[in-house]
């Protein structure tokens, strides 16, 4: 069963040449939006999608470049398309997403909650969750900003997609050596220090067997200056369609 991904954007939170690091993951005729940042509505439009073409959205953490487009998504689905979209979200993130990000813009009546705008499907870490037939996910807690929950995603047991994380070589080596992960899309800050993201010099210390499975995303606008300087790793390209099974 083919697993495909198209990056709506591959940029860091402050990038301007590149859109927010969000993606559409496709299995057969089903489409999952992975994060919905500030630039996601325009990026979807530019690529010929509308919100109604998506079967669900999955959120990794609560930063504007990952959730800043959810207000428009919710309003369009309610008032243009007349239905509630499916929202997959870690059970630790649902309340703060509503209380600290969406409530101020979406709530029109005091009694309204996140469930009035989304069909909320909470996910728990440590379990395998089926999102659609042929697509499952495991949440893996990864460190990004202190005291703020953040999750990376393991799809179908072989495709790891980081949800922003500091450098964790033990995790990456374990994914490849112990769990048989074959493709890793990983956020990459191009310059040190890697305070809240893995930085390129850190990732270059990984063993060759890990580097050859690693594709870099969430980078800054100076990314063209680093082409050819990433060891065995490659940059993920914005808007390009990738067949994950062909990358394995």
CATH number of 3-247: 3.60.15.10
Which one-letter DSSP state was computed for residue 43? Answer: H
Which one-letter DSSP state was computed for residue 46? Answer: H
Q: For strand 159-161 and strand 241-243, is the pairing parallel, antiparallel, or unpaired?
A: unpaired
Contact indicator for 218, 187 with CB cutoff of 8 Å: yes
CA 203, 196, 99: angle at the middle one, nearest 5? 140
Map residue 101 onto helix, strand or coil.
helix
Contact indicator for 152, 160 with CB cutoff of 8 Å: yes
pTM: 0.97
Digit-by-digit pLDDT tens for the chain (248 residues) are 689 999 999 999 999 999 999 999 999 999 999 999 999 999 999 999 999 999 999 999 999 999 999 999 999 999 999 999 999 999 999 999 999 999 999 999 999 999 999 999 999 999 999 999 999 999 999 999 999 999 999 999 999 999 999 999 999 999 999 999 999 999 999 999 999 999 999 999 999 999 999 999 999 999 999 999 999 999 999 999 999 999 97
Domain ranges for the chain: 3-247
CA dist 55 → 103, 121, 130 (Å)? 23, 13, 13
Report d(CA 63, CA 91) in Å as an integer.
16
């Amino acid at each position: 069963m083919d697993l495909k991904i198209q990056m709506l954007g591959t940029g860091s939170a402050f990038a301007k040449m590149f859109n927010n690091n969000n993606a559409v993951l496709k299995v057969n005729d089903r489409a999952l939006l992975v994060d919905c940042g500030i630039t996601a509505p325009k990026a979807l439009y530019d690529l010929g999608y509308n919100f109604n073409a998506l079967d669900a959205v999955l959120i990794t953490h609560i930063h504007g470049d990952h959730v800043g487009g959810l207000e428009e998504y919710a309003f369009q689905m309610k008032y243009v398309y007349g239905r509630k979209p499916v929202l997959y979200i870690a059970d630790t993130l649902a309340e703060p997403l509503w209380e600290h990000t969406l409530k101020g813009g979406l709530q029109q009546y005091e009694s309204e909650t996140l469930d009035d705008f989304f069909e909320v499907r909470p996910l728990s870490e440590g379990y395998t969750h089926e999102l659609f037939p042929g697509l499952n996910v495991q949440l893996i807690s990864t460190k990004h900003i202190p005291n703020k929950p953040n999750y990376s995603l393991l799809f179908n047991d072989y495709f790891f997609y980081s949800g922003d994380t500091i450098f964790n070589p033990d995790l990456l080596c374990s994914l490849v050596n112990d769990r048989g992960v074959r493709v890793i899309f990983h956020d990459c800050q191009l310059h040190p220090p890697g305070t809240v993201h893995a930085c390129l010099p850190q990732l270059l210390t990984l063993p060759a067997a890990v580097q050859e499975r690693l594709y870099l995303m969430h980078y800054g606008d100076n990314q063209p200056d680093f082409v050819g300087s990433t060891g065995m790793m490659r940059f993920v390209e914005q808007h390009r369609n990738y067949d994950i099974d062909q990358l394995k």
